[in-house]
A and B are shown apart, each in its own frame.
Chain A
């Protein structure tokens, strides 16, 4: 890492650490949301940017993590820490089941199968009222001790997110990540080199699901609630938009994408009820004008 990048990282770290503490509770909540979605988008980019797998059902694992926390705390009165630890585990189990079937397919068929499973989870969340509260969701989740304070919870989320992103960074630059990128470029060739590509993709799918579940759990504990809309199909487009917006060939792209997206959403929906219209126009403009994303270049590749 060069001296300039190190400097830039330090400044960014300091900003993340201090800036939101001076803001009111509302913006602290938004900052938490942005962090959580940065993690969520990063977990998604592991699939799309590094593995070339376009999942159109990633919201399922965010939702599984959130419902894991919600059900454990509200229905089984589990303590906070146990519930938070369970979030990535629950999501990983779900991702393992779905991934087992999905990684056999590629391209648009992979997208459709992950989508089908997500809709399965969504309808179950909607219909299994006893556990999930159906349309009304689960509300009234509380954080223990000092974490009740949004500023403290922000620092807590920042710590966990940074840790998770650090892990992801190590992973994509390890032989595991290199192999994943090679599979993206030419799966058959990697297979002939003796790698079990399907198992590799499956494991990636499970890891991505676990991180999405962690994000979902953190978010549920931020809002104190879980709703079925979090794992609806429109929610699965959110990480795709964030990743493409930030640049899917850049490691930090999803972070930028998540912050810009959440920022735009907060500001625009504060002024008009037609946020979806703006979002649609932004998405279309993005596809037509800025396909490399904010941080990306058209032909850039991750890690090159």
Chain B
């Protein structure tokens, strides 16, 4: 017990070291941006369809595997990488649309337990199908040369690809903001999050809107998976890991809120990065404790609205 306290104290002294603090901050933001790419779609889908999509991690995993195959089939360099991102997003757009039309559309009016079971069943189907199409090997994907290696920034060296993730995350946040606030589709999405029935009554084809939102959410997951492939071990069980993280983020930020997903992602990313510094073995516990506290104090999340 005493040695544990000593250890924790020693770990805490690391917080006084500016290099360590800057590196952990960057690493937290980078991890947070990755979480944002997964959770933005999850949050969008919940906001509009009120379905908690447990299979979202599976869609992310599919994106990562597709990217891996595209990079394996084409030339590795930058063109192959860009192509892998496009393929991940495009194929998942189709998969998402297909899933909505075939399955999810039928359960919008069902009780929570049926909706939960449906997406839960999909988790296993997607997980196993990926094992059948590819195999059970755990693989790594190489980042293009331009983005690999390390960069020196404000006094620390940091992996270039992780800095690139931060930039993409920021770009994605801006793109989503523009989509939601400056396009008709985005305005419909926000309106549906507020009041679905009213939107339908005003003459919007909500059926098509739901398909579109689900496809968009899936495409975001696919893009995120493709983008994350170089920093993850692409293998079985990936989908189960990422959905839990995304879930925590969305609950903390508020289901259905994109700003919430962004803030939640950064919060979880930073809590993880600094939690690992202070209590290496308990960092995961911290994020779940954070989730529980938010639910107890503000069940609808930091940026959500009470129902």
> Which chain A residues numbered 253 to 301 have a C-beta less than 8 Å away from chain B?
274, 276-277, 279-284, 286-288, 291
- Give chain B nearest CB distance to A253 CB in angstroms: 13
From known contacts A127-B284, A277-B128, A280-B124, infer whether A54 and B116 are also in contact, taking CB-CB under 8 Å. Answer: yes
A175 to B80, CA, bound (A): 68
Report the count of interface residues on B (CB-CB < 8 A).
41
From known contacts A127-B281, A233-B244, infer whether A116 and B292 are also in contact, taking CB-CB under 8 Å. Answer: yes
Kindly report which residue of chain A lies nearest to residue B58, judged by CB atoms: A280
B15 within 8 A of A: no
* CB-contact partner of A244 in B114, B131, B248, B251, under 8 A: B114
Question: Which residues of chain A come closer than 8 Å to B50, judged between CB atoms?
Answer: 108
Question: Which residues of chain B come closer than 8 Å to A277, judged between CB atoms?
Answer: 124-125, 128-129, 132
Kindly report which residue of chain A lies nearest to residue B129, judged by CB atoms: A277
B282 within 8 A of A: yes
Q: When the two chains form their complex, are residues A111 and B125 in contact, meaning their CB atoms are under 8 A apart?
A: no
Kindly report which residue of chain B lies nearest to residue A291, judged by CB atoms: B114
A283 to B106, CA, bound (A): 14
Kindly report which residue of chain B lies nearest to residue A232, judged by CB atoms: B240
Question: Which residues of chain B come closer than 8 Å to A124, judged between CB atoms?
Answer: 285
Question: Which residues of chain B come closer than 8 Å to A173, judged between CB atoms?
Answer: none
Report, as a range, how many residues of chain A touch the other chain. Answer: 35 or more
A101 to B128, CA, bound (A): 36
Q: When the two chains form their complex, are residues A116 and B128 in contact, meaning their CB atoms are under 8 A apart?
A: no
A108 to B46, CA, bound (A): 11
B118 within 8 A of A: yes
> Which chain A residues numbered 108 to 131 have a C-beta less than 8 Å away from chain B?
108-109, 111-113, 115-117, 119-120, 123-124, 127
Which of B103, B110, B112 has most chain A Cβ within 10 Å?
Answer: B112
Q: When the two chains form their complex, are residues B240 and A119 in contact, meaning their CB atoms are under 8 A apart?
A: no
Question: Which residues of chain A come closer than 8 Å to B75, judged between CB atoms?
Answer: none
From known contacts A108-B52, A111-B116, A116-B292, infer whether A281 and B121 are also in contact, taking CB-CB under 8 Å. Answer: yes
Name B's A-contacting residues (CB within 8 A). 50, 52, 103, 106-107, 110, 112-114, 116-118, 120-129, 131-132, 240, 244, 247-248, 251, 281-282, 284-285, 288-289, 291-292, 295-296, 299-300
